[in-house]
Structure 1
């Protein structure tokens, strides 16, 4: 997983600059046509996206969920599925815009992009603000700890039971919500900017563990043998993600869900998930309605 940045902390100006560059690299389209955002906001997202040939998508550059290569090509489990479903809808491609997780929903509702496909896990607070598609992935959580896990941290409960423990977490992420729901005090939370800085916080003894999705940590561990990854935490809530749309784009969401359901029945869906390390069987029978009940 090379250069993970799950909760990328780019400043606003940096996000705009990188987003514009990635948009051009990813699709070959230089800009959104005049009026595109306004038409999308008016409920014509499908027509707008088909006419302009792409859909603007917020991503985070956190493999295996999302990834941006050196030449700007956007991939990862979520964008690859989104691109495939969009093609079924007559939308030629997607444009990736890198943005911090905490800015994704505000940016969506401000019409800065049309959809979020970034491993933005479903939970009650998010589901009240956006319209999620049915799930594409289902995920578990783990800790990155020093080799040997010297403090034996294997659960969320362990953090609440020991106020001396410090847990690295990405601001705006699902994991921060887990700690807040568990009433982990702020002084125990070490805020980091991305996956690599979370690992460095653990290795430098600024944090006792780093909470992140199991797959993200395992991918980081492929390039760094200086820490270990725990088994999936049994007391962390199960969650998952799909594409997130503005609530005003309910007609697009319905069309997307219809094509997503058909796409899930094809071999290509399973191939995409398997390529990025996910088990397509885990998604079967899981609904957005279920995952939106997750507290946080």
Structure 2
């Protein structure tokens, strides 16, 4: 989001799920991250190929950034925006491919998908490897804790000061980078599969808290969500592309900026609990300056 999704980021989507391919603008998940597809650089560039064969997007399963329904349909704030912008570009088929956050950028570079639309939050290390579109989501981080927050975990500084605390993160997610950049010890950072896996680990006393975007945590039952963490960076996300697909990104950004002025953009974000006004004036360059 962000590893779902999500900040993201996402997750149960690393499992193999029903093999449905989206047609006519709908969006659904494929069975595996090892999908084939057109070779990079062929067929006149990504825009032409996507119009002819569809756009392949890597997604996770971390509501509200991305969500995988029981029937295999993929929705969520980021995929819904990508689908709307793609339609404006003459792309009427979007195929969602479920991936773990740590595999999203390698998979993009290996041409397993054409873009990442999963709440993969911008930060310096990621922005050196991929090209992000104009921001769509700006988000905060919180801890998921047991009811009453018995360990009184409210800040990253609290975790640093108490080496006995165990904090769950999704591997490869933005939150793992927050803790590592702050100097939290590796023994304190515990991998969980996704938001639900974090709640399960918390209830089983395998962790004392888990770190995810605030909105992702609010989707869970039986977990107390702290106020946004004051010493954790706020960041944002948008679709991410290969650096060599700059022509596609330019066309995508043109349509995205126009789409942001329309009621449908606000409706999508509000549907998933995001405030569409907080992204106004926020730039990709600003979010890419976040440490990590």
In the superposition, the TM-score normalised over structure 2's length comes to 0.90
Aligned to 2:177, the other structure's residue is in SS state: helix
5+ residue gaps, structure 1, are: none
Measure the CA separation in 1 of the matches of 2:96 and 2:285. 27
Measure the CA separation in 2 of the matches of 1:9 and 1:271. 27
Aligned residues of 1:124 and 1:294 also touching (Cα < 8 A): yes
- Deviation for aligned residue 1:227: 2.2
Aligned residues of 1:146 and 1:227 also touching (Cα < 8 A): yes
Deviates more, 1:41-50 or 1:187-196: 41-50
1:124 is matched with which residue?
Answer: 124
Aligned to 1:38, the other structure's residue is in SS state: coil
Aligned residues of 1:64 and 1:215 also touching (Cα < 8 A): yes
Aligned residues of 1:41 and 1:249 also touching (Cα < 8 A): no
- Deviation for aligned residue 1:262: 0.2
Aligned residues of 1:40 and 1:48 also touching (Cα < 8 A): no
User: What does 1:1-296 align with in structure 2 at a 5 Å threshold?
Assistant: 6-8=9-11, 14-15=15-16, 18=17, 21-23=19-21, 37-40=38-41, 44-52=45-53, 54-220=54-220, 224=221, 226-296=222-292
Measure the CA separation in 1 of the matches of 2:30 and 2:13. 22
Measure the CA separation in 2 of the matches of 1:29 and 1:279. 27
- Deviation for aligned residue 1:229: 0.4
Structure number with higher helix proportion: 1
- Deviation for aligned residue 1:37: 2.2
When residues 178 and 22 of structure 1 are mapped into structure 2, their CA distance, relative to the original with a 3 A threshold, is: farther
Aligned residues of 2:59 and 2:117 also touching (Cα < 8 A): yes
Measure the CA separation in 1 of the matches of 2:29 and 2:13. 23
5+ residue gaps, structure 2, are: none
Aligned to 1:178, the other structure's residue is in SS state: helix
Measure the CA separation in 1 of the matches of 2:182 and 2:29. 45
Measure the CA separation in 1 of the matches of 2:127 and 2:30. 32
What is the root-mean-square deviation in Å for CA atoms of aligned residues?
2.2
Q: Hey, which bits of structure 1, 4+ residues long, moved more than 2 A?
A: 4-7, 22-31, 39-43
Number of aligned pairs? 280
